[in-house]
Amino acid sequence: MPDHEGESGLTRGELARETGCNIETIRYYEKIGLLPDPPRTAAGYRIYSASHLGRLRFILRARELGFPMEDIRGLLGLDDGAAPNCAEVKARTERHLADVRAKIADLRRVETVLAETAAKCSGHHVPDCPILDALGPKDG
Amino acid sequence: MPDHEGESGLTRGELARETGCNIETIRYYEKIGLLPDPPRTAAGYRIYSASHLGRLRFILRARELGFPMEDIRGLLGLDDGAAPNCAEVKARTERHLADVRAKIADLRRVETVLAETAAKCSGHHVPDCPILDALGPKDG
DNA sequence: CCTTGTGCCTGTAGTTGCTACAGACCCTAC
DNA sequence: GTAGGGTCTGTAGCAACTACAGGCACAAGG
């Protein structure tokens, strides 16, 4: 392991373990500019500070909440360079919330169709399966 | 246009228009084996029959319902070669239904968090945005 | 000092489900 | 005969990762 210089400072592997993030994903986020390039040891090993840790956690939490990458960028203030202002953050959150609600509504419709269809099927008879019928004729 | 031989028979473009499916997607489905290779005219143009039309519609409908590709394959009887039996179809549908319900539950949790967070934010003050706070410190 | 075993470095290729070209034919219509 | 569509092929691109391969770096054991 690279020299820790007596101070804290995480290697990529440690950061990955700490956050539960895949180790390669960290490099990927660096490449696409979500994470700033960390300083390196003489040998070229990345050294992450608490600030990187916080930022990565932020990204992962936003991801868990389903924010699209573009929004995460915006929330981090990477769109315009300036720190994101509150109104912008709120707007983004509400747009995303609307998307989530739309997705829920979609899935509920799907749920209904699937449940109804599955209920019609006894699971016994082979031909004329009501599920397949509901989906439409496969042939002819 | 290729000769229609007096009979019905769709070109790829016609099939695309008929189903609303992207024209390239049709070729893709053929490539991955979801659609059987259609016969061709002397010049090599694909000619689709009503059977292809039905099958593509089936695929698209299953896709709309969010069935994973693997399931669609199964529903078409492409896994084992045999026509899918009813019990199998039902099992697949119910597994998928469970997935959909899990996804809905996930999204509902997300919805709650987003709604609560957005509600806390007035949209006015710039520092200490409660949305960003909820996501965690970006730095330091 | 040397070896062994990690861990990290780089670049690149693979994944899924499409979508979008480029360049070449074909076919119809004027 | 030529302009305009449509179609053919193979290949490259997308998001958002994930997974190598081949090569250093580093700590510990003998």
pLDDT digits (tens, 9 = 90+) for A49-106: 999 999 999 999 999 999 999 999 999 988 776 777 788 888 999 999 999 999 999 9
Q: Which of B89, B97, B111 sits opposite A111 (nearest CB)?
A: B97
Residue of A121, A127, A133 lying closest to B91 (CA atoms)? A121
The domain segmentation of chain B, as residue ranges, is 1-66, 85-140
d(CA B49, CA A139): 10
d(CA B75, CA B116): 41
Q: What is the mean pLDDT of residues B31-48?
A: 96
CA distance A2 to chain B (A): 22
* Distance in angstroms: CA B46, C1' C24: 17
d(CA A14, CA A2): 12
d(CA B71, CA A68): 27
Instruction: Write the class of the CATH domain B1-66.
Output: mainly alpha
Residues with CB under 7 A from strand D: A 1-3, 22, 24-25, 27-28, 41-45, 63, 68-70; B 1, 11-14, 23-24, 27, 40, 44-46
- Fill in the amino acid letter for B72: I
ipTM of this predicted structure? 0.84
Calculate ∠ Cα A33-A37-A42, nearest 5°: 160
Tens digit of pLDDT for each residue in B60-98?
A: 999 999 999 999 999 998 877 667 778 888 899 999 999
Contact B93 A114 (CB under 8 A): yes
